[in-house]
Amino acid sequence: MDRHVEAFLEMLAAERGAARNTLGAYRADLDDFGAHARIRGIPPAEAPAVLVQSYLRALSDAGLSARTAARRLSALRQFFRFLVREGVRADDPTELSESPKLPAGLPKALSEAEVAALIAGAARLPGKRGPLAVALVELLYSSGLRVSELVALHAGALRADAPMIAVLGKGSKERLVPISRRAREAAQEARGEPSKPSRWLFPSRAAEGHITRQAVGAVLKDAALAAGLDPAHVSPHVLRHSFATHLLGRGADLRSLQILLGHADIATTQIYTKVLDERLRRVVEEHHPLSTG
């Protein structure tokens, strides 16, 4: 084992409390780079930038995924920055290396049946938590609101005569969002008659005066458990993804979806087409008579 790698791993364990599995992963990644360097007669700690680049090319040529290559480059960055801090070398050979571009992750969406089950589960929660959970699910799913936008809704935002509400989104950009009748009624039931006046739709004792994003997440987890769903797969972000995916699946156009979600760039919205592409691919594989699976 290279003594510099050993010193780096000792630092991770002592200063950062890295777990055994984490240390093992770093050791394996650095050993792989060390083998690449030694074949070329260069000690790993003395590797120049061109050697780092040749290593990354070798990973690509070997067919390793961009995610794996990015992880190994991250390990190298931390290793060489450690050597610079320790005065072992004056430069970081990874400084100009660009991380491999990772493929965009597909949004995780619940099925329509799972959303219905989630609402039913929310309604079964005891006391005031039930109406609150229903209101949160209905609002997030029927409007595609970000959780930060939801918690900041004012008390008078959801009027029966105003099917659209103005929401202040990212970058302080305002947009109009439609709110379903069911969502408005659920929110009004959850709010009830507050014990004291509040400017917020969902007041709380938190410092901000309104329900927090963390509290919303906790309520959704409870609703998921009551519905028999995996709580790890239910969050405000997942409901926003579900809103977008289901709308697109039922014929909504990308431009309309972009406006509803408050995306500044339509390229951000286009990721949802990949969800549909993947779904269509599975349909063909599962049901076409000539599909090989």
* Residues tagged active-site: 146, 170, 237, 240, 263, 272
- Please give the Cα distance from 138 to 89 (Å, whole number): 57
**Which residue reads 């959801």 in tokens?**
158
**Which residue reads 């509803």 in tokens?**
260
How many alpha carbons fall within 13 Å on the CB side of residue 177? 30
Contact 262, 242 (CB under 8 A): no
In sequence order, what DSSP letters do the residues of 155-177 get, joined into one string?
TTS--TT-SEEEEE-GGG-EEEE
**Which residue reads 């901000």 in tokens?**
208
Neighbours of 249 (CB within 10 A): 14
Q: Is 217 exposed, middle or buried (0-12, 13-18, 19+ CB in 10 A)?
A: middle
Neighbours of 83 (CB within 10 A): 22
Q: How far is CA 168 from the centre of its chain?
A: 21
Q: What is the Cα Rg of the chain in Å?
A: 26
